[in-house]
Structure 1
Amino acid sequence: MAFSVRPTRRLLRILGRSVRAIALIATIGWGALAIHFELPGSPGVVISTLAVWCLVGGIALLAPLWQRARPHLALAARCSFVIALVTLVAWWQGLTPRNDRDWAPDVARQLSYEREGDRVTLHDVRDFEWHTPETATPHWETREYDLSQLDRVDMIVSYWMGPAIAHTLISFGFDDGRHLTFSVEIRRERDETFSISGGFFKQFEVNLIAADENDILRLRSNVRGEDVYLYNVGLSPAARRELFLAYLDEADRLRAAPAFYNTLTSNCTTIVFDMVDKIVPGLPRDIRLILSGYLPAYVYDIGGLDSSHPLEFLRQRGHINPRARQIPYNAGSEAFSRAIRDGVPVADGETVHAPSP
């Protein structure tokens, strides 16, 4: 019995040390990235702080090697790291989102509105004319919509980094032929560019953009060259209205209480899911809500798309790029919206549901 217990204890000690080392390395890595993305000051200040953090963390990581020979030194190393970690976490927790930064022009304004019954007046609807992915002629408009004329909802997924990652947009169509697209986007400062890693480290706030399709979809399909797919979603008239109003509520919330974007938990897909989940309760959580490139398959599986055709057929018909490129900007919004929907199957009414267990 003694022979079998000793190796087991030794193995458990080795395993415990390995787990602690991995946790410590992960903590050091998190701290380094937090400092890199969020510490204010000159590059020299950031580099110096990174160096001190990594040095303290590295010494703490090596402390077990001299635990027996120099226990006081090992204890001092661990205490130094704990003090540094507490300081770092306190600073991190003190970072708060804001609405008053020097924003990039395309996210500089926030949507606001007034509502009287079915009539809504939206302020700061974006209708930019894009010349390159970085330059545009800006237009911010005030528009009026009648919710009683709301007759369709479309989901658009725009692939910008492989098959698993896409940006999700929701477009509302009205009886008069107009369409309005809502997009949950990072709110970049003027000198910032998007970073997936930065999205985990409070680098960006969230903004809700309401935009003309001739702006926000053309930008992706024609100017950036992303692959863009449009799917008609089956929602009842009441659910369509509730979803539209949910976007307006989200705009109110972000104006009153700015929020940080998070690549994993608070992004263009998860925020939309949270809104839809309140309208159609019981929808299942799924990895495809994070790997948003596979979101159409998720919506198809819960009955949200035209079930009379295979998903691949809907995908082929929903690829808007060839049609979008045939319509010049000056043809107007309605011409662009009609063209990108040519041949796209329409879902059958009230089809989105929570699957039975």
Structure 2
Amino acid sequence: MWWNTLKPSHHRLWADDVTQLLEARVDGDYVQLKNVRNFEWRSETDYTPRWESRTYDLARLRSADLLLSYWMGPHIAHALVSFGFDDGEQVVFSLEIRKERHESFSAVGGFFRQFEQILVAADEGDIVRTRSNARGEQVYLYRLQMSQVKVRALFLEYVDVANELRRSPRFYNTLTSNCTTIVFELARLISPALPVDYRLMLSGYFAEYVYDLHGLVPDYSYAELQALGYINERALASDTSAANFSTSIRQGVPGVPANEVYP
């Protein structure tokens, strides 16, 4: 009876980095995203907040990259998907816990309706940089092998999730509704035959799961893709120049064309 009294809410005193809900509107090929996060992070606690409205042309959507960020050993990682456009724009989607100002993440608490969930859309210089540079997490980037039709479909599934969460708050669940399971669930809407696998729970191995499904660049071993996709050194080297962050972290990553241009 107590469990059933716990209800998710949008009305709490949220931490600064999750205070705004993403709002999306689709008009043909154009998607307008309101509340795209683009904070300037100097450290984990020192930052300048910025929330922006941006418009993306799906006709120019060209790529999707999987990022895994490790903060507590090899078994658990946070999964993000970054979408690239041929004009150099990048936007990252990340399902996260929506912390209140007094809260910090707890995997155990995530089982027991302690946190709501939020879908964040953010600039790479915000959401990737804060993990690699400000927090010192170990971050890996992989180019996904998907047709343009499926990349577009995956982007629009994230848009649908954002608007559904805006309408109806939901609890985050460490096991069944987290950053990895949402990627799997959205991908399964596009390819229903995707198998359930233990690596959906041990999220640190999620890229290996995608590799086994032929979703990463061929002609490389998984170990090679992982080594070449490690971005931290490149991210730290670009720390004083936000403009080339997206270019720097992709240097040498298999599947990324040498002529890709980023702002």
Work out whether 1:106 is the aligned partner of 2:24: no
Residue identity in the other structure for 1:161: M
Aligned length: 257
State the match for 2:250 in structure 1.
Answer: 341
- Does structure 1 conserve the Cα–Cα contact (< 8 Å) formed by 2:61 and 2:84? yes
Larger proportion of strand: 2
- Does structure 2 conserve the Cα–Cα contact (< 8 Å) formed by 1:233 and 1:347? no
Picking from 134, 141, 146, the partner of 2:45 is 134
Distance 1:328 1:340 in 2: 11
1:25-36 correspondence to structure 2 within 5 Å? none
Q: Give unmatched runs, 5+ long, in structure 1.
A: 1-89, 349-357
- Does structure 2 conserve the Cα–Cα contact (< 8 Å) formed by 1:306 and 1:347? no
Percent identity reads: 53
CA offsets, 1:29-73, max 9 Å, x none? xxxxxxxxxxxxxxxxxxxxxxxxxxxxxxxxxxxxxxxxxxxxx
Distance 2:256 2:154 in 1: 17
Distance 2:39 2:124 in 1: 10
Residue identity in the other structure for 1:236: S
State the match for 2:260 in structure 1.
Answer: none
Q: Which stretch shifts more, 112-121 or 283-292?
A: 112-121
- Does structure 2 conserve the Cα–Cα contact (< 8 Å) formed by 1:304 and 1:347? no
Distance 2:224 2:247 in 1: 20
State the match for 1:211 in structure 2.
Answer: 122
Residue identity in the other structure for 2:28: G
Distance 1:343 1:153 in 2: 16
Shift of 1:133: 1.4
Distance 2:108 2:45 in 1: 21
CA offsets, 1:169-190, max 9 Å, x none? 0000000111100000000001
Distance 1:100 1:255 in 2: 12
Corresponding residue SS for 1:269? helix
State the match for 2:147 in structure 1.
Answer: 236
Shift of 1:134: 2.5
- Does structure 1 conserve the Cα–Cα contact (< 8 Å) formed by 2:69 and 2:140? yes
CA offsets, 1:294-347, max 9 Å, x none? 111100000000120111111111000010111135x234x1001101110118
Question: Residues 193 and 263 from structure 1, CA distance in 2 versus in 1: closer, same or farther, beyond 3 angstroms?
Answer: same
- Does structure 1 conserve the Cα–Cα contact (< 8 Å) formed by 2:235 and 2:249? yes
State the match for 1:320 in structure 2.
Answer: 231
Normalised by the length of structure 2, the TM-score is 0.96
Could you list the runs of 4 or more consecutive aligned residues of structure 1 that deviate by over 4 angstroms after TM superposition? none
Work out whether 1:161 is the aligned partner of 2:53: no
Question: Residues 254 and 173 from structure 1, CA distance in 2 versus in 1: closer, same or farther, beyond 3 angstroms?
Answer: same
Distance 2:42 2:245 in 1: 17
Corresponding residue SS for 2:78? strand
Shift of 1:196: 0.7
Corresponding residue SS for 1:328? coil
Residue identity in the other structure for 2:242: G
Distance 2:234 2:114 in 1: 36
- Does structure 1 conserve the Cα–Cα contact (< 8 Å) formed by 2:250 and 2:256? no
State the match for 1:73 in structure 2.
Answer: none
Larger proportion of helix: 1
State the match for 1:92 in structure 2.
Answer: 3
Distance 2:43 2:256 in 1: 34
Question: What RMSD, in angstroms, separates the aligned Cα atoms of the two structures?
Answer: 1.2
Picking from 242, 245, 254, the partner of 1:332 is 242
Residue identity in the other structure for 2:255: V
Distance 2:190 2:256 in 1: 18
Bigger RCO of structures 1 and 2 (CA < 8 A, at least 6 apart): 2
- Does structure 2 conserve the Cα–Cα contact (< 8 Å) formed by 1:186 and 1:261? yes
